[in-house]
């Protein structure tokens, strides 16, 4: 039986979960901005501590263990999109992602983090609310990442609509605050005090 789109989404989700290196190679543009550690860690002159996406994942979280158990009795090569087992597995993966553990110590931290803009609210000129994601195409071309890899950004000032899926640096105050949207569940909220294009 031919493996088709839905099952491929399950497999891609597994790959993105299991390793930041796999997520990097799966990204459409070939990298995740800010991968550990492209830029030096520490507090910047403006008072924001530069972090990377791995800092938002609890050190003891091992999603690959959950997937081994979840898929132990399933031959993914034999499933196609119409198979109810594929839909059930994808639902379980989605639930696990939406409930991924967060790092409570990040609450209230002044941080600077790079990522790609995925608009949630705006018009043809401005983006007023967006998700920050670690790799190109997340939430749009591939399933959304786990909640601990999605940041809901509420900028102090709207950003240009031209920055849709553009890599940016966001500086602001981070909250551990799980929020659902139609594009995915974000585990963190960031008041975007300063947003600039990534260089």
- The CATH number that applies at residue 112 is 2.40.50.870
Q: How far apart are CA 154 and CA 130, in angstroms?
A: 7
pTM: 0.76
Query: What is the domain extent for residue 135?
Result: 1-199
CA atoms of 34 and 116, how far apart (whole Å) = 11
The answer to whether 143 and 94 have CB atoms below 8 angstroms apart is yes
Coil, strand or helix: which one is 97?
helix
Residue of 191, 167, 177, 149 lying closest to 18 (CA atoms) = 149
The pLDDT value given to residue 150: 96
Q: Running along the chain, 199 residues long, what does each successive block of 10 average in pLDDT? A: 44 48 36 41 76 95 78 66 76 88 96 96 96 81 84 97 94 96 94 93
**What pLDDT shows up at residue 25?**
31
What total of structural domains would you count in the chain? 1
CA atoms of 53 and 3, how far apart (whole Å): 31
Contact (CB, 8 A) for 50 and 41: yes
């Amino acid at each position: 039986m031919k493996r088709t789109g839905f099952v491929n989404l399950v497999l891609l989700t597994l790959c993105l979960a299991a390793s930041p290196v796999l997520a990097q190679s799966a990204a459409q543009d070939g990298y995740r901005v800010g991968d550990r550690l492209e830029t030096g860690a520490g507090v910047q002159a403006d008072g924001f501590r530069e972090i990377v996406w791995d800092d938002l994942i609890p050190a003891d979280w091992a999603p690959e263990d959950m997937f081994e158990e979840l898929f132990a009795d399933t031959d993914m090569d034999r499933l196609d999109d119409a198979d109810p087992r594929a839909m059930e597995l994808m639902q379980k993966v989605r639930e696990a992602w939406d409930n991924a553990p967060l790092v409570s110590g990040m609450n209230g931290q002044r941080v600077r983090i790079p990522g790609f803009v995925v608009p949630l609210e705006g018009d043809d000129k401005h983006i007023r609310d967006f998700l920050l994601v670690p790799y190109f195409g997340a939430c749009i071309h591939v399933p959304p990442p786990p909640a601990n890899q999605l940041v809901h950004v509420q900028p102090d000032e709207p950003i240009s609509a031209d920055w849709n899926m553009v890599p940016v640096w966001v500086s602001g105050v981070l909250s551990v605050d799980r929020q659902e949207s139609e594009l995915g569940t974000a585990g963190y909220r960031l008041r975007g005090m300063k947003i600039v294009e990534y260089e």
